[in-house]
């Protein structure tokens, strides 16, 4: 297993497959074919098979894929078969909403601390957060990252603050950033960034509405 080249779009799709598989399992389904799975998420059966083939042979001819088994394999591929500790920076409205978002925990992510440099916010409790210290100042970052072996961070600060915050997170040792600030972060090689610009998403939607459209736009 392990693989050289995984098409980037395949990564997006794989995580959609996983989500769908979890839903299918909930509904009691034991087995799926590439066609069923593909139809559920809007891709061709061949595409499903090719995507999975990047990582091994998980199916049985004439039967399809065992749902539980495939979920297990996909979690292993994504690394979400173990818990990842995460920190979040920026306790504004969006940041707080994300901090309390249950979906992250469901995927096995654990938020260990929330940071902000606004003195008015420091110490304020974050519902659902284990860290009793509540919102922490950025100065605490390196210690927390080291103590709790944190590798991922969520950036929810205003645009002008995003790059310095990213630099601080990387200096503290993080390996991946989920960025909600509307700027392109620049990071050294070896650090991954996934950016989600909410306004931009709406803008793109707008585009698809104006000029004809491809039924579905991917997650």
Partner DNA sequence: TAGTGTGAATGGATTCACAGCC
Partner DNA sequence: GGCTGTGAATCCATTCACACTA
Residues 36-75 that bind DNA (CB under 7 A): 43-47, 49-50, 52-53, 57-65
* Total site size for a second copy, rule CB under 8 A: 78
Q: Which does 27 bind (CB under 5 to 8 A by kind): DNA, a second copy, none?
A: none
Nearer to DNA, 14 or 145 (CB): 14
Residue 177 tokens read as 């950033």
Binding mask 22-61 for a second copy (x = CB under 8 A): -x----------------xxx-------------------
Nearer to a second copy, 132 or 209 (CB): 209
Q: What residues contact residue 80 under an 8 Å CB cut-off, 6+ apart?
A: 107, 108, 109
One of 109, 121, 136, 155 touching a second copy (CB under 8 A): 109
Q: Residues 64, 33: contact at Cβ < 8 Å?
A: yes
Q: Does 125 bind a second copy (CB under 8 A)?
A: no
* Nearest-angstrom CA–CA distance, 194 and 180: 9
Q: Which stretch binds DNA (CB under 7 A): 30-38, 161-169, 188-196, 201-209?
A: 30-38
Stretches 26-34, 80-88, 111-119, 176-184: which one binds DNA (CB under 7 A)? Answer: 26-34
**Cα separations in angstroms, 86 against 46, 91, 190, 209:** 36, 14, 18, 36
69 binding partner (options DNA, a second copy, none; Cβ < 5 to 8 Å by kind): none
Q: Is 133 helix (H, G, I), strand (E, B) or coil?
A: coil
Task: Give the residues across from 60 on adjacent strands.
Answer: 64
Question: Which residue, 49 or 136, has its beta carbon nearer to DNA?
Answer: 49
The least distance separating DNA from the CB of residue 24, rounded to whole angstroms, comes to 13
Concatenating the DSSP letter of every residue in 14-83 gives HHHHHHHHHHHHHTT--EE-HHHHHHHHT--HHHHHHHHHTT----BTTTBEEHHHHHHHHHHHHTTTS-
33 binds, among DNA, a second copy, none (CB under 5 to 8 A by kind): DNA
| Residue 204 binding DNA, by CB under 7 A | no
Strand spans (E) along 104-189: 109-115, 135-136, 152-155, 176-179
> Which residue ranges make up the site for DNA (CB under 7 A)?
5, 7-10, 32-35, 43-47, 49-50, 52-53, 57-65
């Amino acid at each position: 297993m392990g693989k050289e080249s995984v098409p980037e779009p395949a990564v997006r799709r794989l995580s959609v497959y996983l989500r769908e598989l979890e839903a299918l399992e909930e509904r009691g389904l034991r087995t799926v074919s590439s066609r069923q799975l593909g139809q559920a998420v809007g891709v061709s059966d061949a595409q499903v098979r090719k995507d999975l083939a990047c990582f091994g042979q998980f199916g049985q001819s004439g039967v399809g894929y065992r749902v539980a088994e495939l979920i297990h394999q996909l979690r292993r591929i994504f690394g979400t078969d173990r818990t990842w500790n995460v920190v979040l920076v920026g306790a504004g409205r969006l940041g707080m909403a994300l901090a309390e978002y249950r979906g992250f925990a469901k995927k096995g992510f654990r938020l260990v601390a929330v940071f902000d440099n606004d003195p008015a916010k420091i110490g304020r409790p974050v519902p659902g957060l284990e860290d009793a210290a509540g919102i922490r100042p950025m100065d605490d970052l390196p210690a927390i990252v080291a103590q709790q072996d944190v590798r991922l961070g969520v950036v929810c600060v205003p645009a002008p603050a995003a790059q310095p915050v990213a630099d601080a997170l990387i200096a503290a040792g993080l390996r991946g950033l989920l960025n909600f600030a509307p700027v392109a972060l620049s990071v050294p090689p070896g650090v991954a960034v996934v950016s989600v610009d909410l306004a931009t998403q709406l803008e793109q939607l707008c585009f698809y509405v104006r000029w004809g459209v491809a039924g579905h736009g991917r997650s």
